[in-house]
Amino acid sequence: MDAVRDRLGQMIFARVAGPDGPRQRERIHDTPGPRWFEPDSPIARVHSDAAMFIGGIRAVLLQTMHPVAMTAVAENSGFRVDMWGRLARTSQFLAVTTFGPAQYAEQAVTAVRSIHDRVRGTMPDGTPYAASDPHLLAWVHAAEADSFLRSHTVYGDDELTQDERDTYVAQVGEVSARLGVLDPPRTEAELAQVLRDFRPELRGTRHAREAVRHLVLHPDLPLPARAPYGVLMAAGIGLMPWWTRLPLRLPLLPGVEQTAVRAAGEAATRTIRWAMSPRDVGTTAGAVPDGEAAPHAAGS
């Protein structure tokens, strides 16, 4: 069973962390120095759990609902031809800012801000947009924070108290503030209000539906991996708000989502958690946190 676990863990890690994954893992976890966050803090607990795989899917789906953000992605991102390369880059950003030395975290933020500064364009109505716009960054941040926290609530390995949930929101806000978000929410209630405030701006566009269709139907995976990916995708869709389903052409099956999809999602996260856990309990130095391989849409 150890050989099976090792092989499965290596396959998952290679797919989501990319060919540079082992070097980045050593760089992030083995380099001494102060970190932005303590290893037992809420952000570390959430981002190190296998539920992040589902949370990342939900975050990407939800982010497509903002037409300006989606246009920027469609016109400037290679997600259609390099979906897994983008995932590797964004997962590394999430890992280094959560677990890495402060100096490396600062470097990652600087690199992403530089990319955002270069991404500019024009909406069909002639309105200019910029990826560095604090308002757009606030939407990306809110969608991610809500998705990661919600997925952990449903599929996470441990339960957060309300104080810990608020601390999580504040901690992810610290990273997003460094990326350019102005006054990010500091509590779960404030986060919910930010999402409500964005509702009038959200809709399902052609770009959004194309992106969702690509993510659901064309994951560029070998056949044996498509069924597990489908389970994670179904679980992510099952956590999406009801008002996003019709605009994005996503199914809404409450009964099935609360039973079969939920059970399959729990089985999938348990399997990922088992495959990517360190062999020796209590010996975690250099090990890959489960969530290190999860998608993070704020990256490059």
pLDDT for 290: 34
Which amino acid type is present at position 13? F
Examine the pLDDT at 251 and tell me if it is beyond 80.
Answer: yes
pLDDT of residue 299: 38
- Cβ(120)–Cβ(131) below 8 Å: yes
Residue 9 has pLDDT above 70, yes or no: no
Q: What is the mean pLDDT of residues 113-133?
A: 93
Q: Could you give the CA distance from residue 218 to residue 212 in angstroms, rounded to a whole number? A: 10
Query: What's 158's DSSP letter?
Result: S
177-184: long-range contacts at Cβ-Cβ below 8 A with a sequence spacing of 24 or more?
178/106, 178/109, 179/109, 179/112, 179/113, 179/116, 179/137, 179/141, 179/298, 180/113, 180/116, 180/132, 180/134, 180/137, 181/134, 181/137, 181/138, 181/141, 182/134, 182/138, 184/138, 184/141
Report for 17-21, 204-208, 221-225: range of highest mean pLDDT: 204-208
Task: Round to whole Å and give the CA distance between 21 and 43.
Answer: 21
Structure tokens that stand for 5 in this block:
């676990």
d(CA 202, CA 208): 11
Q: How many CB atoms lie within 10 A of CB 65?
A: 25
Phi-psi region of 155 (alpha: psi -120 to 50; beta: other; left: phi over 0): alpha
Does pLDDT of 122 surpass 50?
A: yes
pTM as predicted: 0.86
Which comes out higher in pLDDT, residue 133 or 15? Answer: 133
Tokens representing 123? 């909406």
Q: Is the pLDDT of residue 295 over 90?
A: no
Most confident of 1-5, 9-13, 19-23, 110-114: 110-114
Assign 228 a pLDDT band (cuts: 50, 70, 90). Answer: confident
Asked if residue 18 has pLDDT above 90, the reply is: no
Strands 128-130 and 120-122: antiparallel
Q: Can you give the pLDDT at residue 286?
A: 30
Q: Which residues pair with 35 in a beta bridge?
A: 101
Which pair of structure tokens corresponds to residue 291?
């969530």
> pLDDT > 90: what percent of the chain?
64
Token pair of 265, please? 């999602």
Q: What is the DSSP letter of 293?
A: G
pLDDT over threshold 80, residue 51: yes
Report domain extents, the chain: 2-124+143-163+202-293
Q: pLDDT value at position 14?
A: 57
Contact at 8 Å (CB) between 211 and 79? yes
**Of the candidates 239, 188, 249, the residue with the CA atom closest to the CA atom of residue 65:** 249
List pLDDT tens digits, range 128-151.
Answer: 999 999 999 999 999 999 999 999
For residue 25, what pLDDT is reported?
A: 78
Mean pLDDT across 239-250? 97
* Helix, strand counts (H, E) of the chain: 15, 2
By residue count, the chain amounts to 300
Is the predicted pLDDT of residue 90 greater than 50, yes or no?
yes
274-286 pLDDT, tens digit per residue, is: 877 754 333 222 3
* Structural element, H or E, at residue 128: strand 128-130
Q: Indicate if the pLDDT at residue 291 is higher than 60.
A: no
Q: Which pLDDT tens digit goes with each residue over 178-195? A: 999 999 999 999 999 999
Q: Which of 79-88, 166-175, 250-259, 278-287 has the lowest mean pLDDT?
A: 278-287
Mean pLDDT of 251-256: 90
Residue 159 is given by DSSP the state P
